């Protein structure tokens, strides 16, 4: 029996190109895994009336990890439709979103960056409880001690395994009740981890510091909305969406995905950059306890980005397939 069960969800658009590419690379790397494929997203919603069919949730729950492509969400309201990724994050209780940003040999990348944003993944403003009273609209931001504590603990433990520096990013000066609860709870959790350097940073100042001196940061932990925004900023500092990976983790389950979406503007052309998904697969290998394979995979990505061939988004001319074959040669 294979050591790991990996559930692959291609989703829509370029998800159908980058997931098969990542699978080929994982197979060439020699990962001892059984791959199980499952459907999710807009296309399956149109066909079957559900963006995450029951058997997909079962397959995701039964697997040791999920590797997710990307799904399309319509920008208009569609009766009965919900976002596949938000549903999976909730159903699998994936409470922390890890978004590493690391300098690589790609155009426009700021040198010396090696940080991880840990984004609380279940609450904050993203509970999406909105109301409107005439010309006034109100949104709730929910912060709980339990969700803040578990994400805080995870971030502190991650920092302890890295360079030992944790920045708690917040806006407690303006929102002392909600952001204040998050800040004080995370600081309590961080204080339990010996040897950490912990500082709190107000989110707007943090944005400025990231642009001017991202190399100064190791692990940053923050509420949902701030993490969504600042992790796109750090992706922008380190080469853009084509190379930005992420992991959603909980107590029992884990799902790894590129930060980018289904890229309908280039879908079906065979030109999508699979790097973000392959780097997400490397994070997945770490999660599965396959650190040595993860390092080999990252090294192959770094060498390929350095020496070429490169995909179009990084100024090259390589197709998804050509780039994937170059990766396969380096990991085999």
List the interface residues with ligand NAI, window 4-23 (CB under 6 A). Answer: 14, 18
Does residue 77 belong to the site contacting ligand NAI (CB under 6 A)? Answer: no
Does residue 70 belong to the site contacting ligand NAI (CB under 6 A)? Answer: yes
CB under 5 to 8 A by kind: which of Mg ion, ligand NAI, none does 273 bind?
A: ligand NAI
Does residue 257 belong to the site contacting Mg ion (CB under 5 A)? Answer: no
Q: 73: which strand partners?
A: none
Cβ at position 1, least distance to ligand NAI in Å: 31
Q: Give the CB-nearest residue to ligand NAI.
A: 261
Question: For residue 112, is it left (φ>0), alpha (ψ between -120 and 50) or beta?
Answer: left
Backbone angles phi, psi at 150, to 5 degrees: -70, -35
The stretch near Mg ion (CB under 5 A) out of 143-151, 223-231, 239-247, 288-296 is 223-231
Catalytic residue among 171, 286, 302, 313: 171
Question: Under rule CB under 5 A, how many of the chain's residues touch Mg ion?
Answer: 1
C-alpha span between 182 and 151 (Å, rounded): 10
x/- track of binding to Mg ion for residues 81-120 (CB under 5 A): ----------------------------------------
Out of 67, 95, 261, 323, the only residue in the binding site for ligand NAI (CB under 6 A) is 261
Provide the token pair at 125: 């403003």
C-alpha span between 203 and 188 (Å, rounded): 19
Closer of 167 and 318 to ligand NAI (Cβ):
318
C-alpha span between 11 and 14 (Å, rounded): 8
Catalytic residue among 64, 126, 218, 313: 126
Out of 17, 39, 228, 257, the only residue in the binding site for Mg ion (CB under 5 A) is 228
Cβ at position 18, least distance to ligand NAI in Å: 6
For the beta carbon of residue 270, count every other beta carbon within 10 angstroms. 12
Does residue 242 belong to the site contacting ligand NAI (CB under 6 A)? Answer: yes
For the beta carbon of residue 33, count every other beta carbon within 10 angstroms. 22
Is there a catalytic annotation at residue 232? yes
CB under 5 to 8 A by kind: which of ligand NAI, Mg ion, none does 235 bind?
A: none
Cβ at position 284, least distance to ligand NAI in Å: 15
Q: 249: which strand partners?
A: 96, 254
CB under 5 to 8 A by kind: which of Mg ion, ligand NAI, none does 228 bind?
A: Mg ion
Backbone angles phi, psi at 248, to 5 degrees: -110, 120
Is there a catalytic annotation at residue 3? no
Is there a catalytic annotation at residue 171? yes
Out of 56, 72, 97, 304, the only residue in the binding site for ligand NAI (CB under 6 A) is 72
Helices (H), the chain: 15-29, 42-48, 54-62, 84-91, 145-161, 178-191, 203-213, 224-237, 275-287, 291-307, 320-331
x/- track of binding to ligand NAI for residues 302-331 (CB under 6 A): -----------x------------------
C-alpha span between 280 and 198 (Å, rounded): 27
Catalytic residue among 12, 64, 218, 228: 228
Question: For residue 82, is it left (φ>0), alpha (ψ between -120 and 50) or beta?
Answer: beta
Residues in the chain, overall count: 332
Is there a catalytic annotation at residue 12? no
Catalytic residue among 93, 165, 200, 232: 232
Beta-carbon contacts of 88 under 8 Å, excluding residues fewer than 6 positions away, are: 40, 52, 57, 60, 66, 68, 94, 248, 255
Residue numbers at the binding site for ligand NAI (CB under 6 A): 14, 18, 70-73, 85, 241-242, 257, 260-266, 272-273, 276, 313
Active site residue ranges = 126, 171, 204, 228, 232
């Amino acid at each position: 029996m294979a050591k790991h069960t990996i559930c692959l969800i291609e989703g829509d658009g370029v998800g159908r190109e980058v997931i098969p590419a990542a699978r080929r690379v994982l197979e060439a790397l020699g990962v001892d895994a059984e791959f199980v494929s499952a459907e999710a997203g807009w296309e399956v919603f149109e066909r079957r009336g559900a963006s995450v069919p029951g058997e997909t949730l079962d397959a995701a729950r039964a697997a040791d990890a999920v590797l997710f492509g990307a799904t399309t969400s319509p920008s208009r309201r569609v009766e009965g439709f919900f976002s596949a990724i938000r549903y999976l994050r909730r159903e699998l209780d994936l409470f922390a979103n890890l978004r590493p940003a690391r300098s690589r040999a790609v155009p426009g990348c700021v040198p010396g960056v090696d940080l991880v944003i840990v984004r609380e993944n279940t609450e904050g403003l993203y509970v999406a409880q909105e109301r409107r009273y005439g010309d006034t609209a109100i949104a709730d931001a929910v912060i709980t001690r339990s969700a803040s504590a578990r994400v805080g603990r995870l971030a502190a433990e991650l920092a302890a395994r890295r360079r030992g520096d944790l920045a708690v990013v917040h806006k407690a000066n303006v929102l002392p009740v909600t952001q204040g609860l998050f800040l004080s709870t995370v600081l309590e959790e961080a204080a339990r981890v010996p040897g950490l350097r912990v500082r709190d940073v107000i989110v707007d100042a943090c944005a400025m510091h990231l642009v001017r001196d991202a190399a100064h940061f190791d692990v940053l932990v923050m509420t949902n909305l701030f993490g969504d925004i600042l992790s796109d900023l750090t992706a922008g500092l380190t080469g853009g969406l084509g190379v930005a990976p992420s992991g959603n983790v909980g107590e029992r389950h884990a799902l790894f995905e590129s930060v980018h979406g289904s890229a309908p503007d280039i879908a079906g052309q065979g030109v999508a950059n699979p790097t973000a998904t392959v780097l997400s697969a490397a994070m997945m290998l770490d999660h599965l306890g396959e650190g040595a394979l993860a390092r080999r995979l990252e090294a192959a990505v770094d060498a390929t980005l350095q020496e070429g061939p490169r995909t179009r988004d990084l100024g090259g001319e390589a197709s998804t397939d050509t780039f994937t074959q170059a990766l396969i040669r380096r990991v085999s």
